[in-house]
Amino acid sequence: MAWMLNADSPIASNRIPALKYEQQNGFAYSNYAGPITHEPKENLSEPKRVALDAQRNAQYILTQKDRPMPTLEQMQEELKSDTSATIKQRIADLQKQHLSDLQRLYTCHAEEFLDDALDLYLAKDDLQYLADGENNLVLKQSYGQLEMIYEESRRNLPQQMQWENDVERMRHSHLVLLNELYVKLKRQEMADEEARQRREADFPMSIEDYKGKSKDVQLRVARFLTANDPGRQERMLSEYRWASRQVKPLQEIFNKNAAFKADIIAQLIEVKDPRKRS
């Protein structure tokens, strides 16, 4: 449902958009923005415009949108599951490719503009002007009209509109793909964070695993290992959802490794000593 302002009232009113513009993404017709569900109506006043634009777009794709054939290694990489790092790399590659596409588009339009400017220059008849001293009002009026047509063509407004249209189409397609990748990246980062939190909450199985945990988790594990009350250990197992078989490997290391046990006790003393708090 779209909104529009009434000419006689500042209050917004509902307006159903025309069905012919559905899924057109703001364009009259599109070869860039994905498939459409119906054929665009051809402008009867310009019956060849749609066909000419289609041919022009096809020619541009054939000459400017070429891509190198991917290697076997690149195709194998495409089959792997995406990670946050690979999605970020795809975003960077997409932005780099978009810049390259824009540069090619600029070059294509510059060549078209130069061709049209040369054609217009060569099409002008310099012999149309009156000789010195000749005063023919009919010819003057005729030549004035021709000069006005020439000046109007020199502004090249249709080509400027085509340029803006092509840029907007390319930008729209780029933003659609970029948005999909950013959404995918956000979901992947959320999944990675959930997995990290689960790993962080797990009871460490070795000294190296213990040292890799955050300070809060290390302190929690240290209090569990040094607890003399079995009831307190049971409560901690239930509170932090640790399994009994999960804590046994580190308990055995704690009981057998005097150096590790001393480090655990020293860490607890450091936390309890208020003079050593930051």
Rg (C-alpha) for the chain, rounded Å, is 36
Q: Is residue 1 part of a domain?
A: no
DSSP string covering 167-236, please? HHHHHHHHHHHHHHHHHHHHHHHHHHHHHHHHHHHSPPSSHHHHHTS-HHHHHHHHHHHH---HHHHHHH
Query: Looking at the domain assignment, is residue 43 inside a domain?
Result: no
Among residues 201, 232, 254, the one where a domain terminates is 201
Collect all residues with Cβ–Cβ distance below 8 Å to 255 and sequence separation of at least 6.
261
**Number of domains the chain contains:** 2
172 is written with which tokens? 């729209």
Helix %, strand %, coil % for the chain, to 5? Answer: 70, 5, 30
Range of the domain at 108: 83-201
pLDDT at 156: 61
In three-state secondary structure terms, 100 is helix
DSSP tag of 149: H
> Is the same domain home to 188 and 225?
no
* Average pLDDT score over residue span 236-252: 85
For residue 202, pLDDT beyond 70: yes
The last residue of a domain, from among 155, 180, 201: 201
Last residue of a domain, one of 201, 216, 251: 201
pLDDT in tens, 99-114: 998 998 888 888 888 8
pLDDT tens figures, 127-144: 666 677 777 777 777 777
Contact 80, 134 (CB under 8 A): no
Quote the Cα angle for 42-47-150, to 5°: 125
**Residue 278 within a domain:** no
Q: What percent of the chain has pLDDT over 70?
A: 73
Report how far apart, in Å, the C-alpha atoms of 120 and of each of 116, 150, 159 are: 6, 8, 13
Give pLDDT, residue 154: 66
Positive/negative CA dihedral, 118, 119, 122, 123: negative
